[in-house]
Structures are given as C-alpha cells and as structure tokens.
Amino acid sequence: MAANRRGHRNASAPRNQRGIVLIALLLMLILVSVGALAAAEIWATTLKREREVELLWVGNQYRRAIESYWKATPGRRKVLPSTIDQLLLDDRFPNPVMHLRAAYPDPMAPDTEFELIRVNNALVGVRSTSKEKPFKHANFPLRYRQFANAEDYSQWQFIFVPPGMAIPGVPINPNPAPNQGNSPLSALH
C-alpha cells in the first residue's frame, strides 16, 4: 500500500504544480492587462491635452487672420472677410496677401471644419464643433479668459471684434493690448 500511496503522491504532484503555474500565469495576465489599460488612459489624456494646445494655436491663427484682414482694408472704412478663402488669398491688392497660411481642420474634431461665427454675413471668428469636455480650465491668455467656464470645446470661440462693434455673448474688450496676459500662452495675443 505504501507503494500505491507513494505512486499516487507522485501522480498528483505534477497536477498541483500545473494548477499553481496556471494561476500564476492568469495573475500575470491580469496585471499586464491592468497596466496596459492604465498606459492607454495616460496616452489618451496626453493626446487630448496636445490637441487642446493645438486648438488654442489654430483658433488664434484664425482670429489673427481676421484681424489682419480688417486692418489691411484700404481706406478709413474697414471691413471684415465673409469667407475663409478671403483670408487665404486677399485679392483686394495688386499683390494678393495671405492672412492665413491654410484652412486648418478642427484639432478636436479632425474630420470636420471649424464652425464659422458670423455677424451680418461678416466672419468674426471660429469655434470647434466638439462637444467633449475640456481638460484645461485655467491659465488661459487674457484674451481667452472666458474659456475657463466652458462646458465643451464648442464654447472656445476665437473671435476678433473690431473697435466699436458689439457682438452678443462676447465679453467687452476681447482684444486686450499685447503683453496683458498672465500665462505662458499669453504670447497668443
């Protein structure tokens, strides 16, 4: 009987070891999966923050181009553009002027264009079409201080308001003098 018992012990020992190895393998796979999910979340957050920075830059390019178009208008009566194409190629002069290098896509919704903000058919700005909630809620340049209260990216409106013009929903003096910002992005003036 001892031999049987001994033989029985030897037969069951490899099964126990296989079970322990299987459990260890499953635990390792769980830990690797949790680590991969955490890394994916960090990566997604990093990409979204980079797109936010790009949105601030691109939106400001549109705002500056509209301002440049308005300032370049010959004569005393200044006008705003009515299309993006006019910002890309301003043919009001013998040598056409480019106020905007390209029609940039919306970084928060790359498959769509920016929504145009108009007043009486005049283009005054652009905004994202994204309904995602922003990560950034503070330290905006003075010009964009109202972005701190935005519920989604579509509320980030990049607008140029000519002196003497009022636009409903746009804060008074949205065009502060240069160097009045208090953040690293204040260079976007």
Q: Where are the domains of the chain?
A: 48-188
Let me know: does 63 contact 160? Beta carbons within 8 Å.
Answer: yes
pTM metric for this prediction: 0.71
Q: How confident is the model at residue 36 (pLDDT cuts 50, 70, 90)?
A: confident
pLDDT in tens, 111-135: 888 999 999 899 999 999 999 999 8
**Bigger pLDDT: 170 vs 77:** 77
Of 115, 117, 140, the residue nearest 66 (C-alpha): 117
pLDDT in tens, 67-93: 999 999 988 899 999 999 999 999 999
Q: What is the pLDDT of residue 184?
A: 37
* Mean pLDDT within 146-165: 91
Q: For residues 158 and 67, what is the distance between their CA atoms, to the nearest angstrom? A: 11
Q: For residues 177 and 189, what is the distance between their CA atoms, to the nearest angstrom? A: 8
pLDDT in tens, 2-30: 455 555 555 555 667 778 888 888 888 88
Let me know: does 32 contact 26? Beta carbons within 8 Å.
Answer: no
